[in-house]
Chain A
């Protein structure tokens, strides 16, 4: 009997595991995918080796790359960018840690309150969340990002828009700023040389501006795992969870099992209350199944896998909201073609952003060439100049929106990957019941019926569409301000990569799966601690910080309710994840 079993080691699960391990609980952390504990042997900087969704080391599949990836049904032109493995999608994320906008919390009374998804707000106030933001910001740690060339170019565009610079953590008005990133900023030789010999730790510390965020961060060379620049959870929270005995007074290291696919959550009736009792998982390599019981079960398998596991476990769904309300920031993408250097393939993926509370935001995104090509071809508006699927929006960009194919794609890329500037449009999108996960009618895989991810992307709410069009036009204006000689709007098909709220917490039991403590309304002792627990799309900011802050709060709730413990965030100081005691213990463990 464990104290707590956590399902999934992505952005959220390791936070609960680490926090409760620090309290001395017996934690089992299960991850369906691989454990990359020797990244210099297991990873490369090559795009296909890393990111091919079928064969890459960053894919949704078992650890054995000779085995096929896990397929999911996407009944529309879309791409759901799931990753298995320790770190989950933080393995390839850009470490952007903006706070959720205050307007998505239930204590908001600003003049623009009507601009937000008020029907699906956080069931508590922003003020209550701030200490948890601060706790995670100190743990990760979060820092103001340095500029590279592409940020200098992006800021030139921002300056042309006449908006103020945000100099606070909290976003309160339309503004732009360097990202607050969970990335250790360049130190020593980092960012100042391309000479590999000079970029060895500790002569270089933090971000070396290598440009390979999406291929996994293992910089600087020879740094301890918890000193790698990007604070994906495989570099931050998981090392802390594994070493809780050396940095927390009463800490107990978690047990971590990878390549372990949870296929069943067990529950039983206890005095008329359905109560979670444990899980069964399947070893991907051997096919053997194993069951363990726990006092509390925490789901953190992601917005797509949590509903699947729920349905496959036969758990109740009384209000039919399991899997519903999936938000994705309804991304769009604009590409500015420059006649000067942008350094687009260098440095962190994104170090600059523009926020427009009530609408969403923009950020610059640097990419290597294959992802650049992918980004220019993922469209819901057909092929520019040939067909447009009834879309092909006109605007302040050049010509109709749509994908670039053939000669146009070649001309774009021949301009040079480092003479493009990409702007990601991040829409504050509404929670909508019909954007959802169900079980697919397609054949099951070895772990049971698979997930079907449905997005009614052409029937989003008027507010969502308004926000996306507004931000796309802002992006084009920004690119014009940088001096772009041409601007393309791709009108992305759903790229489901910022994922939120498919198992949402909420104020009303009619449209939420979780109560305000992230405990399931239908099954007691069952909590959710990843992006799927978010009540909404957090207004558009990248969701990782908000998820981790919420998961920290959830860990406190678990500890108080089921282990008679006291909360700690308001009374203690957090330990930073780069703490040298962690580095030493990782070395002793061969990690």
Chain B
């Protein structure tokens, strides 16, 4: 798939949230970036990294609030504010970033095509994007920088690929999400729209599959829809799991620095870890052994 026009570039960058991210973090792309004549790309790549990381974090904030809402602004924005602590207080976004970027044993040969597909597959999908004219004009530079990142960086964070996919589908579900509060289109969605994003991912929406298929190397192409089905479920399950664990408050030497949020919410281990419970209730009908 090629990107022929500036509008297409802007459309695609907006869909994956990049332009919004650049604006939202204070215009990290310098005004004279395009005027530099000596190898400007590495600088741009360096400048883009924190932008992309912020975009990923913002997107995952939208995800973790979706699964386990609380009193945070993301839960409020999706329309499900809660009084009691939720994923934000449990630091589930940090849990997810740490897991995705450091521990998911996902080969680069698969992570790269996903990132590439997210970056290149959306220009001509035909969904009108209201508000596109309000976005800045540095598309060529950003586009080049993203391209450089994809071509040169063997370790594109998986959190960015996941965030890119969520944002891409978010703008398909609700094109208006390209603008608004937060950096991430996904984070701007209502709870119901977020659910629709997962419906499309989990059901391996044919547009998504086609987009990924175009990037995947043989012979892995036929695995794309299965991968989407797995990722759609796993993201929700792993966020739910992480929100209730001790991860945020456990030191490297296995001490708790505070009571885990999830323990308080669920009444688990009210006095901390124990080696046993006084819950022995005898034997059913007094029977201690059985024989044929």
Contacts and interface: CB of A to CB of B under 8 A. Distances in A.
Does chain A bind chain B?
Answer: yes
Interface of A: 44-49, 52, 54-55, 61, 68-71, 73-79, 130, 143-144, 146-149, 151-152, 155, 165-170, 177-178, 180, 186, 189-194, 196, 199, 204, 208-211, 219-221, 343, 345-347, 352, 368-374, 376-379, 382-383, 386-387, 389, 403, 405-407, 409-410, 413-414, 416-419, 440-443, 445, 452, 454, 493
B267 A191 contact: no
A165 B280 CA distance: 21
B283 A208 contact: no
Contact of A383 (B195, B203, B247, B269): B195
Interface in B260-292: 262-263, 265-269, 271, 273-285, 287-292
Contact of A374 (B109, B237, B278, B284): B237
A414 B265 contact: yes
Nearest to B86: A410
A147 B279 CA distance: 8
A114 B247 CA distance: 50
B222 interface: yes
Question: Quick one: which of B198, B225, B274 has the most chain A CB within 10 A?
Answer: B274
A493 B236 CA distance: 13
B195 A405 contact: yes
Contacts of B124: none
A417 B268 contact: yes
Contacts of A371: 241
A190 B222 contact: no
A130 B243 CA distance: 46
Interface stretch (B12-20, B49-57, B99-107, B136-144): B99-107
B240 A383 contact: no
Contacts of A445: 105
Interface stretch (B29-37, B65-73, B147-155, B178-186): B65-73
Contacts of B66: 405-406
Contact of B281 (A151, A204, A208): A151
A364 to B, nearest CB: 12
Contacts of B226: 73-76, 454
Interface stretch (B1-9, B125-133, B206-214, B227-235): B227-235
Residue among B220, B240, B247, B271 with the highest chain A CB neighbour number at 10 A? B240
B234 to A, nearest CB: 8
Which among B237, B243, B276, B277 has the highest number of chain A CB atoms within 10 Å?
B276
A153 B3 CA distance: 63
Contacts of A168: 290-292
B276 A73 contact: no
Given A71-B106, A143-B289, A180-B290, A368 B254 contact: no
A194 B275 CA distance: 7
B276 A191 contact: yes
A199 B241 contact: no
B74 to A, nearest CB: 12
7 residue pairs, one from A and one from B, having the closest CB atoms:
A75-B226, A191-B280, A208-B276, A77-B233, A386-B195, A48-B245, A68-B105
B267 A417 contact: yes
B199 to A, nearest CB: 4
A46 B254 contact: yes
Contacts of A199: 275-276
Contacts of A352: 284
Contact of B276 (A47, A177, A204, A409): A204
A52 B82 CA distance: 27
B173 to A, nearest CB: 12
Given A409-B68, A414-B266, A152 B281 contact: yes
B256 to A, nearest CB: 8
Nearest to B191: A406
B43 interface: no
Contact of A382 (B199, B244, B280): B199
Contact of B287 (A71, A144, A345, A441): A144
B199 A416 contact: no
B265 A413 contact: yes
Contacts of B250: 46, 48-49
B205 interface: no
Contacts of B69: 406-407, 410
A379 to B, nearest CB: 8
Nearest to A383: B195
Contact of A372 (B103, B244, B247, B285): B244
Contacts of A68: 103-105
B216 to A, nearest CB: 10
Nearest to B262: A369
A196 B275 contact: yes
Given A44-B254, A54-B104, A417-B268, A77 B230 contact: yes
Given A170-B292, A194-B274, A406 B284 contact: no
7 contacts: A48-B241, A49-B250, A75-B227, A148-B279, A169-B291, A370-B243, A413-B265
A373 B191 CA distance: 19
Contact of A75 (B223, B247, B265, B291): B223
A52 B196 CA distance: 28
A443 B266 contact: no
B241 A193 contact: no
A409 to B, nearest CB: 6
Most buried by A among B225, B267, B288: B267
A377 B236 contact: yes
A350 to B, nearest CB: 14
Contact of A55 (B103, B229, B265): B103
B233 A378 contact: yes
A507 B280 CA distance: 46
A146 B282 contact: yes
Contact of B199 (A149, A180, A210, A386): A386
B94 interface: no
Contacts of A54: 99, 103-105
Nearest to A169: B292
Given A55-B103, A146-B281, A370-B241, A403 B266 contact: no
Given A370-B243, A441-B220, 7 more contacts: A74-B230, A75-B229, A78-B230, A194-B271, A369-B265, A373-B241, A452-B223
